Amino acid sequence: MGALMATLDVSIVNSALPRIQGEIGASGTEGTWIATGYLVAEIIMIPLAGWLERLLGLRTLLLMVASLFTLFSVVCGMSTSLGMMIAGRVGQGLTGGAMIPTAHTIIATRLPRSQQPIGTAMFGATAILGPVVGPYVGGWLTENMSWHYAFFLNIPICMALMALLFIGLPHQKAKLNLIGEADWLGIVGLTAFLGGLTIALEEGQRDQWLSSPFICWMFAISAIGLVLLLIGQRTSVRPVIRLSILLNRQFGSVVVMGMVVGMVVYGTSYMIPQFLANISNYNSMQAGAIVALSGIPSLMMMPLVPLMIRRFDIRLAVGLGLFILAFSAWHETSLTAVADGSAFIESQLMRGVGSVLAMLFLNQAAIQSVPVANASDAAGLFNAARNLGGSFALAAIAILQDQRLWFHGRRLEESLQANSERVQEYVQHNGALSYMKLESIIQTQALTMTYIDLFWIMSVAIACVIPLVLFLRPLNRNAPMASGH
């Protein structure tokens, strides 16, 4: 339930963003911080969750973050200014990020080994539901009630979660001595590195990259953070997160593939609603329903996950999953300016199948490729890499969309010569508004071609990492299943 809320709130505001911006008086550029603030905070918190779990105990940590998540959700729902909204979203990201990697600890410690596959399948279903149904839920609430309820929805879920935590988890004594022994250089460095990098990637295109002093400062903070993090790796007895496991050939390959899958999941969930809104004139609820289609095969396959993990070779499963994801992106390179939501049905269903095969098997490989003592570090790094892949995707989409839209627009204009008979006929037939209509047609066609380019690039990127499956080793059939999202 915690992971469901955390993943749901990543995307639930995407559909409601125009309404929220209008009511709190935020411009389009300022409004993006409503989504960016959450993602930055979550990326920072995910790798820190393992240390906080050791410091406070699992139940105490989850009770704290669940109650604070409720409080920050109320702050967001009652926001009357941009500053108040961003503060609430950052708080949501910090507390929600702690509920994601701790899920595998709950399954591993509270269920007997024979029931762990069922627990993992149930957790996987809820975690996949979050980002998939988020745009639809947000769109429905915005269209039929108010955007405020996209945040107030968390209140009853959090109350139920806290009750279950009291009943289902034993109390563990806090180890406050870990505060003095903590890798503070690493904690500060990790926060500065991931925070600065994510903000720079999210805002770089809007602020013209290195021509903006703000973006230069973000890259500088990120670089200083990386240096501090590396110093902590060398000097601390127990680093906040062990980066040395990235040198493991299998784990390093898993992280790269997980990052690319994150790029696809976040990238397509952003591009498809944008295409449907700009080209097909869909409202937020209609676009969200198309995005939610990928959750159907995911939910149908979840009961079979334990069996698949025991029977399928990981290299075959991950390779097939990546191939399906690549093919689903390539399938969308045939879009036209008259396409509507039906053009995405097949690719979205394929994407759901590919996501389950790739992500769940990769998560199992991430946990099993390192010693048991480093399992929480591996889970944190893998989940952070997936979210970071999403940031890379959104930054790349922003850059390429501007460049390719300009390129295709100019090429189409060059092909329409003023003295052409067909152009003259069009102008005579449409009268005074002919030039405005023609410009609108050019922009629509150029935007469609731009989206085609983006989907093509995405399919090529996935295809390039498929050979990395050769570095994977067969899973230990007798090991307890790890969980992830």
Q: Write the pLDDT tens digit of every residue in 85-98.
A: 999 999 999 999 88
Element (H, E) at 257: helix 249-278
The residue with greater pLDDT, 478 or 115, is 115
pLDDT at 246 over 70: yes
> Contact at 8 Å (CB) between 100 and 49?
yes
Q: What is the mean pLDDT of the chain?
A: 84
CA distance 293 to 299: 11
CATH code 1.10.10.10 for 243-485: no
Q: Provide the b/e sequence for 458-485 (b: ≥16 CB within 10 Å).
A: bbebbbebbebbebbeebeeeebbbbbb
Percent of residues, the chain, with pLDDT higher than 70: 93
Q: What is residue 236's predicted lDDT score, i.e. its pLDDT?
A: 85
> Contact at 8 Å (CB) between 223 and 200?
no
The closest alpha carbon to 108, from 480, 484, 363, 405, belongs to: 480
pLDDT at 286 over 90: no
Overall average pLDDT of the 42-63 stretch: 87
Q: Provide the b/e sequence for 338-362 (b: ≥16 CB within 10 Å).
A: ebebebbeebbbbbbbbbbbbbbbb
Q: What is the pLDDT of residues 382-418, one digit of tens each?
A: 878 887 887 788 778 878 888 899 999 989 888 877 6
pLDDT at 116 over 80: no
Q: Give residue 297's identity as a one-letter amino acid code.
A: P
pLDDT tier for residue 348 given thresholds of 50, 70 and 90: very high
Overall average pLDDT of the 407-432 stretch: 78
pLDDT tier for residue 33 given thresholds of 50, 70 and 90: confident
Q: What is residue 374's predicted lDDT score, i.e. its pLDDT?
A: 78
What DSSP line would sit under 418-437, residue for residue? TT-HHHHHHHHHHGGGHHHH
Which tokens go with 183? 């890798």
Element (H, E) at 446: helix 434-465
Overall average pLDDT of the 351-379 stretch: 81
The alpha carbon torsion through 132, 301, 293, 387 (nearest 10 deg) reads 30
Q: What is residue 484's predicted lDDT score, i.e. its pLDDT?
A: 44
Q: What is residue 28's predicted lDDT score, i.e. its pLDDT?
A: 61
Q: What is residue 312's predicted lDDT score, i.e. its pLDDT?
A: 85
Q: What is residue 29's predicted lDDT score, i.e. its pLDDT?
A: 61
CA distance 212 to 205: 10
Residue with tokens 């994510």: 198
Q: What is the pLDDT of residues 151-189, one digit of tens each?
A: 999 999 999 999 999 988 888 888 888 787 788 898 899
pLDDT tier for residue 253 given thresholds of 50, 70 and 90: very high
Which tokens go with 85? 């909204």
The alpha carbon torsion through 453, 454, 456, 459 (nearest 10 deg) reads 170
Overall average pLDDT of the 27-34 stretch: 70
Element (H, E) at 63: helix 58-77
Q: What is residue 103's predicted lDDT score, i.e. its pLDDT?
A: 78
Cα 425 to chain centroid distance, Å, stands at 49
pLDDT at 337 over 80: yes
Return the top range by mean pLDDT from 48-57, 391-400, 416-425. Answer: 48-57
Percent of residues, the chain, with pLDDT higher than 90: 31
Q: What is residue 483's predicted lDDT score, i.e. its pLDDT?
A: 46
Instruction: Assign domain 1-182 one CATH number from 3.40.190.290, 3.30.110.70, 1.20.1250.20, 3.30.465.10.
Output: 1.20.1250.20
How big is the CA angle at 70 (ends 49 and 389), to the nearest 5 degrees?
Answer: 45
The residue with greater pLDDT, 306 or 193, is 193
